[in-house]
Amino acid sequence: MNNISESSQWQALKALADQQRQQPIHQLFSENPKRFEQLSFRQGELLVDFSKQHFQRDTLEQLIALAEQCELPNWIRQLFEGAEVNHTENRPALHTALRLPEGKECWLEGKNISIDVQQNLQRMDDLVHMIHSGQWRGCSGEAIDTVVNIGVGGSDLGPLMACNALAETPARDDSGRLAQQAAIDVHFVSSMDGSQLADLLKVLNPMRTLFVIASKSFTTIDTMANAATAKEWLNQNANCSETALVARHFIAVSSKPEKMLAWGIPKQNQLEFWEWTGGRYSMWSAIGLLIALKLGMSAFKTMLAGAHSMDEHFRQAPLEENIPALLALTGIWNINFLNIGAHAILPYDGRLKNLPAYLEQLEMESNGKSVNRQGETVDYNTCPILWGEIGTNAQHAFYQLLHQGTEAVMCDFIVAAKRYGPDASQELRHQHQLNLANCFAQSRILALGDSVLEDAQSAPAHKRYQGNQPCTTIMLNELSPFTFGQLIAMYEHKVFVQSVIWGINPFDQWGVELGKQVATNLLGQLDGHETDNLDASTAGLIQAINQ
């Protein structure tokens, strides 16, 4: 396929967009009372409503035709079958294999990798059990009750998000009994400057603290620097050999066993994941250890099962009902045909506070590319700028711009229909109703503008609302490990579909490499070496420090 933007389908969509622009979203609603039925989709406990988007049912059909022109079904098949979809690094992207139920097979280069996956899950289970039962001992012999994850990017955002999202889930062990893990405190540190870690070390008890070093390459400088600080802190507080100290206080998760060993991590404290798992798709692997520690292994497996159910939907459902595909194509419509370059992620649920940061990485690191698979610069937009915040908090911050600014912004509203059981206080249950009302009110005004009022025209200009900001509402029946798994897998597949349309590789991230290299070089100059070869700005800044 040559340049997609020159294809007849692309051109047809462009023409359609010109037409569609004439008709604001509120008019689409008044003309078609069946919009919700036609443009909302369900998969299990997940409901996705596209009816507040700036298009009609037949636009979706045109978009699906574009996807077919891009051979989307074939790409989906290749993704699941382990083809080298990451062609710049000669790797498949088999995060879907991490969520296969026990007994299902996934073959890669003559090997059923499901067996490795299940074995690794079992090892995770053993570690989790040991820690939960109070039998993982620190070097004083006391039981570990605090676990700190040291990782950054994919080794941080996913587990951090999941732990916060699902903290209300009562932790149960495999037999369904309430487990003891409430007693395990989990923390995450990622920042290179050590500030998060330094704050934690002031309050933690070294003898009861275990560190999990999570790094795919086991060379990530941010992570290794934090790990070294943690080790030094333990050393100052312990009186045992360094071998014992590392064996009792560090677990490592990486795809590089030899590097873990070189750092001193004994074999039994190593958890592995594989080259075919991208960092930002690794929450489903042993990188999710903290999730299992916080919620129990059974909840972790339920989360995998939720993601797997979305995988199966994505693999099998026709494009007309395929939720990740439709979500992606809606984005394509907004980005490439309505020329919208900003995307707000608005969870109406405090538990999902880390979802925006997670999706920022997932989408922008995956699709923030301008060179296609043939090595040519593309002549159309790819990934927009994503940002977000808990919706109700953002209402007091950047919603002003969404409602009355000059930027067109597409918005995802994410909300759980049910929350707080009958045991919760009446006031708390009322807060959920309040939250739902705000979620629906905001998406309504953003899409429909002040047309929702009867006499809006009479208001002064500064009180008017233009609307027409396209919104998608993603509603979970409730936020549980299962629906959470579905939700995240949905976004992962959405990103893949968009990459297929744009003809780019979503699984590499060459754009983050040069910075690491240049930073390493600058270390020497910060130590006082010559700065002559630098640009004047950088040289000036360094000289200002070294004076």
Partner 1 sequence: MKIAIWGNELIAWTAAACFAEMGNEVLFTPLFSGGDNSESANLDHAPANVKEEPGLIEQLQQQQDSGRLQFSEVTTASMAMLHFLAFLPKQLTYAESLCHMLAKDKERQLIVMNASNFGIGASDKLQAFLSGNQQVMAYIPDQLPAGSALAHFKKPDHLIIGCQQEWALMHIRALYRPFSQNVNSWLLMSAREAEYTKFAITGMLALRLAYINDLANLADEIDVDIDIIRQAMGSDERIGQHYLNPGCGFGGEHFPQYIEGLAGTLSQARNSSLLSTVLEENEKQKELPFRKLWRHYDCNLQGKTISIWGLAFKPGTASISNAPSLKVIDALLNQGCKVQVHDPMAMANIEMYFAKHHHNDQLRFCQNEMQALENSDGLLLLTEWAQYFSPDYQTMRDAMNTALVIDGRNVFDKKLIEELGFSYYGVGR
Q: What is the DSSP string of 390-420?
A: -HHHHTTTTHHHHHHSSS--EEEEEEEEE-S
Q: Is 363 a catalytic residue?
A: no
Site string for partner 1, 276-315 (x = CB under 8 A): ----------------------------------------
CB contact set of 21 (below 8 Å; sequence gap of 6+): 338
Shortest distance (Å) from residue 250 CB to partner 1: 13
Scan for tokens 């088999």, then name that residue: 94
Catalytic residue among 365, 369, 492, 494: 365
Q: What mask, x for binding partner 1 by CB under 8 A, covers residues 136 to 155? A: -x-xxxx-------------
**Between 184 and 307, whose beta carbon lies closer to partner 1?**
184
Q: Count interface residues toward partner 1 (CB under 8 A).
A: 15
- The token duo for 177 is 């009994």
Cβ nearer to partner 1, comparing 133 with 400: 133
Question: What is the nearest approach in angstroms of partner 1 to the Cβ of residue 451?
Answer: 56
Residues 52/472, Cβ–Cβ less than 8 Å: yes
What is the rounded CA–CA span in Å between residue 238 and residue 244? 10
* Identity of the residue, 139 or 327, whose beta carbon is nearer to partner 1 in the bound complex: 139
456 in helix, strand or coil? helix
Spell out the long-range contacts of 171-179 with Cβ–Cβ below 8 A and sequence spacing 24 or more: 171/294, 171/295, 171/296, 171/299, 172/296, 172/298, 172/299, 173/132, 173/296, 173/297, 173/298, 174/125, 174/297, 174/298, 176/298, 179/132, 179/296, 179/298
The question of whether 365 is a catalytic residue gets the answer: yes
What's the min distance (Å) between Cβ of 372 and partner 1? 55
Q: Going along 190-254, which residue ranges are E strands?
A: 209-214, 250-254
91 vs 248, which CB is nearer to partner 1? 248
Report strand pairing: 46-49 vs 107-108: unpaired
Q: Which one of residues 19, 27, 133, 195 is an interface residue with partner 1 (CB under 8 A)? A: 133
Min CB(173)–partner 1 separation in Å: 14
Candidate ranges 133-141, 218-226, 470-478, 513-521; the one touching partner 1 (CB under 8 A): 133-141
DSSP bridge partners of 42? 47
Separation CA 228–CA 150 (nearest Å): 11
- Given 34, 267, 396, 462, the catalytic residue: 396
* Region from 135-143, 306-314, 321-329, 510-518 binding partner 1, contact rule CB under 8 A: 135-143
Spatial contact of 127 and 251, defined as CB atoms under 8 Å apart = yes
By C-beta, is 247 or 378 nearer to partner 1?
Answer: 247
Q: In angstroms, rounded to a whole number, what is the distance separating the alpha carbons of residues 383 and 368?
A: 5
Least Å distance between CB 1 and partner 1?
57
- Least distance in angstroms from the C-beta of 140 to partner 1: 6
List the one residue from 8, 30, 122, 135 that touches partner 1 (CB under 8 A). 135
Calculate ∠ Cα 117-107-369, nearest 5°. 85
Identify the active-site residue in 14, 111, 463, 516: 516
- Contact between 130 and partner 1 (CB under 8 A)? yes
Query: What are the b/e assignments for 305-339, b being 16+ CB within 10 Å?
Result: ebbbbbbebbeebebeebbbbbbbbbbbbbbbbbe
Q: Which is nearer to partner 1, 138 or 278 (CB)?
A: 138
What is the distance between the terminal CA atoms of the chain, rounded to a whole angstrom?
57
Residue closer to partner 1, measured from CB, 183 or 453: 183
Residue pair 1/71 in contact (Cβ under 8 Å)? The answer is: yes
Q: How far is the CB of 216 from partner 1 (least distance, A)?
A: 29
Restricted to residues 215-254, the positions that interact with partner 1 (CB under 8 A) are 239-241, 243-244, 247-248
The footprint of partner 1 on residues 368-397 (CB under 8 A) is: none
Window contacting partner 1 (CB under 8 A); options: 115-123, 132-140, 414-422, 537-545: 132-140
Which residues are designated catalytic? Answer: 365, 396, 516
Residues that bind partner 1 in the complex, under the rule CB under 8 A: 130, 133, 135, 137, 139-142, 239-241, 243-244, 247-248
